[in-house]
Structure 1
Amino acid sequence: MILGIDMGASSSKWALFSGGEPTARGVYAPLSGHLYTPEARGRMTEGLAGIRAAMPTPPSAVVVGVTGLQRDLAPLIEAMLSDTFGLPVAALHVTDDMHLAHAAHFPGGGGTLVYAGTGSMAYHRTAAGKVLRAGGHGFLIDDAGGAFWQGRQGLKAALRGLDEGQAESRLAAGLFGAIGSRHWPDIRAHVYGEGRAALARLAPAVYAAAVDGDPEAQEIQRRAGAELARLGRAVLNRSGSHEVALCGGSFNPLVRAAFVAQIGDTLTVLPGAEPLLGALALAPGPPESRNV
């Protein structure tokens, strides 16, 4: 029984695998590797206990992909896992969330993964463990193409239209509907009260407006795909890889189409895979015992 946990900025997903197939799964609150304060460590302890309580049976191995993982804090997370699940450290594997997702698409290494969730990154890992990456610099610096970026671009366009007295566009109507108000004090409280997650949650409204024909929303989707293709090319050119996989909730059909149009036809774009499947490739023990 292999437990995979994918800790992210929006939520933490888990799945219990038996014989290579999921037998149980669930979603928990966001968890991350930023364990610098007692409060943050308390949330991690509480989160792991919540996941354990939701499982129908205990695991024999645990693989965790942690967003924002600092390698010097990996032993602390291992100790928390050991205490929570009653397993020795030898039965645990703690890594970052990108490694987990990459292993789901390229179990033996190689290939380049372009990820677009709340943020964005391109990631390549060789069979020997050498990592090449681009992006992942956080929303204050870049993260172009991800959900935060899409939501921010959409809301910026909507508010500029409001400032200029323009008729309300499909994009603006969708975003104001998602927020629950078109009045600036309410919008300000929503965005600045909840931070980047509030803007990331607006990305589906931008996509819906694009599907509905809004030209500004369509341009945001096109630019998102172009930005993500730029990340992919940065790593593909350095790695020499010719295979690329796309992962993350921000890769909606329009963004994916724009990415493929930008990346060129000399590469093989693989089907997406659930990041939690990376637990099967990374779990301690011989591969033949995991049905990888």
Structure 2
Amino acid sequence: MAVGGRSSWNVWLVSGACGAAGLLALHSAVPNGIGRLGSLLETFLPWLGVAVPVLGCLALIVRSWAGLLACLAPGAVWLWMFGGVWFSSPPGPYDLTVVQHNVADDDADPAGTARALLAARAGLIAVEELTPAAQPAYQGVLGASHPHRAVHGTVGLWSAYPLSDVRPVDIRPQGFPGSWRRALRATVSAPGGRVAVYVVHLPSVRLGPRGLASAARDESAALLGARIAADPAGRLLVVGDLNGTVQDRGLAPLTSRLHAPPTGFAFSWPAGLPVARIDQVLGRGAEVTEVSALEATGSDHLPVLGRVLLR
């Protein structure tokens, strides 16, 4: 290869590696005012790590040692940000297991989906997009092992442990009708102690020519965050389809008040080729020690299993 050609490759590869490292480390500096580009980047932030092997292979092919060395920068930043999530530690102690699933309102086999959730042997089973027509199927499968139930609108919670103080939570963005009911709160008397559990489904997000349409979701997240802040419960869980990742700044009014699991990417959406975890199990005063994605059901989301330490 001619020297001039190699020099051009050096420039492109070093620039690409530095750009990937910069986006990873400084993602919060990407503006959100136009098309919510910052939120869009943060939704798929872990995937910037793919740039490291791609650029590294190109550098080897064209024998660009400068480009190969430059790949160390994004690789190091990615490991610093996501290494703990990627390299999972052995399972630790836990008091409670929670399965969370957007079951899809068009699922043709709700009983089959309920059986799949039951097979996870979780003490709590939280669902979203629960339709009135599907409720009897879920109750028929889950009712014996999880006799305590709370349903509000399209969200539901089946529990093996007693529930108390069950109430709806209004997180409707401005202009949404009263029939839009997507959040509830219940106190669970679990073996490790009482814990407040919120089951929520934030508004959907759409990607279009103008970028990420997430204003309604962000408003709903802020309303829920305010409710969480005012909740006196010492131990609290938020489980549900947040339509966003924990890195997405649009959810910061909510996620900044909660702790995410330290390990496990557990990508949950879309079910056919999961690229992001938008289904969450988050805690305050209750440590979510592990999260994992389960096998596909009839939904376009994968179920997510969380293990929770209450003591």
Q: What TM-score bracket applies, with the shorter chain setting the length?
A: under 0.3
Q: What is the TM-score with the length of structure 1 in the denominator?
A: 0.26
Higher strand share: 2
Structure with the bigger RCO (C-alpha within 8 Å, sep 6+) is 1
- Bigger-Rg structure (1/2): 2
Higher helix share: 1
Q: What is the TM-score with the length of structure 2 in the denominator?
A: 0.25
